[in-house]
Amino acid sequence: MRRLLVSRLPGETRVALLEEERLIDFRYERSGTASQVGAHILGRVTALAANNSGAFVALGRGPDGFLPLRKGDRLTEGQAVPVVITRDAEANKGPRLSRELRQAGRFIILLPTSPDVRVSRHMADKARRTALTTWARSKGTGMILRRCAAHVPLEGLERELHALLTDWSDLQKALEAVKAPALLKAAPDVVESALIDAAHLDEIIADDAEVLGQLRRICIERAPDLALRIVPHGESEPLFDHFDLEPRIEALLDPVVSLPSGGRLIIERTAALTAIDVDSGSTTSRGPGGAVHQANLEAADEIPRQMRLRNLGGAIAVDFAGESRAGQRQEVDARLSQGLADDPVPVHVMGRGPAGWLELIRERRQPALEELMLTPGLPHRNGESMAYEIIRHLLREARHPPRGGLTLSLSPPVAQVLSTTAKPALDLARLRLGCALRLQTDDRLPAERFDLKPTQE
């Protein structure tokens, strides 16, 4: 059973993908943090970088984006240029841009400005790869066929290709109707992008009427096979509580990940890279390769999942526990590559460096999960993340509301968030509680702590 779960509060959306009961993808979006990756814009060149290596492009709002230029590309200041955002802006950098205006679907990525036809190298069935390559080349346009296209009938691929070509036609019409800089096509939000990347689903559950409507519209237009699999969450228990997701999401903020046989991963993010150390620890051997090899195989299974769940991007270095046999190292590397095949974000395996670390590069498109949820440089929740955690706690209380009022004691920074950006969500919690809720700031409480008690008369 493959389920997509969507939970929304005013100002916050969370999406989880479950394979049976295993969490394999998690996406988090707050008002003001929505990703712009995938937005198509008619930009205007404001400056050229040294040696014509790139151009700075005005996008209509926010900082200028950076467009890398290839040899032979020629742009001039003031020129209008259609671009797509491929990486969100960071603290001191504008968005990264590309002139390859891709149109992404569940099974096909349309490359309308390129003649290239590619089929995922992770598609194991060679005969199917050949058949799909022949089909794609007959369409007269560039495209990439994702791994999940392997089991899709040709009529399903034809339907999606037609929809993507219609999108491209609409985009071309928009290009003729606007003046740079101007938005041509908005970025997909967290719900749409998760639905596209999930590809095959048995059930889609949402706890918000607006999200249910959005899912139905997307599926009717793009994924009719999923339209009848959308159901509202009908339980009084919150959706993520019902599937026991809250402790698993909290664990994604912990640098230590336990492995089944007693080993562990230690994940440490720095400004330059993410280091993942495999500690065989008290691993109990269950195979012919011994305890160290067992720990490495389990790590190779878990690392791709953690990279995706935590949205780790950029350079990643994995220090597997020491093994002397080349055959064992090759088995571990192959196991890791197999797990990376399911990641919707491209991951490049660079090989082992001189010190034996396996070096990877996962395309950085959006902030990592901990950047959205933790205070910079500290291991606890930031004010925005904590405010919504409190609101979820209040909604649980609403299932059994007290007869009298409630007093919520919390730190001043979190109280500030609840009275501003998170106020609509707090108003919803007050409505469902059906009783008076008084906020009381306490300078002694750290941001990650709060106290909810019945109000004393």
Mean pLDDT over 415-441 rounds to: 92
DSSP 113-130: T---EEE-TT---HHHHH
Q: What is the mean pLDDT of the chain?
A: 92
Q: Model pTM greater than 0.85?
A: yes
For residues 457 and 363, the model is more confident at: 363
- Sheet of strand 142-145: strand arrangement: 103-104, 108-111, 142-145, 117-119
Q: What is the reported pLDDT for 455? A: 85
DSSP 243-266: TT-HHHHHHTTSSEEE-TTS-EEE
- pLDDT, tens digit, for every residue of 170-196? 999 999 999 999 999 999 999 999 999
- pLDDT, tens digit, for every residue of 325-376? 778 888 999 999 999 998 999 999 998 888 889 999 999 999 999 999 998 8
Mean pLDDT over 38-52 rounds to: 93
Query: How confident is residue 283, by pLDDT bands cut at 50, 70 and 90?
Result: low
Query: Three-state DSSP class for 36?
Result: coil
**Residue length, the chain?**
457
- pLDDT, tens digit, for every residue of 125-152? 899 999 999 999 999 999 999 999 999 9
Give the least confident one: 202-216, 246-260, 365-379: 365-379
Question: By C-alpha distance, which of 169, 112, 171 is closest to 140?
Answer: 112
- Cα dihedral angle (414, 415, 418, 419), rounded to 10 degrees? -140
Query: How confident is residue 324, by pLDDT bands cut at 50, 70 and 90?
Result: low
Cis omega (within 30 of 0) on the bond before 181? yes
* Burial classification of residue 256, based on how many CB atoms lie within 10 Å of its CB (0-12 exposed, 13-18 middle, 19 or more buried): exposed
Rounded distance, CA 16 to CA 4, Å?
A: 6
Query: How confident is residue 407, by pLDDT bands cut at 50, 70 and 90?
Result: very high
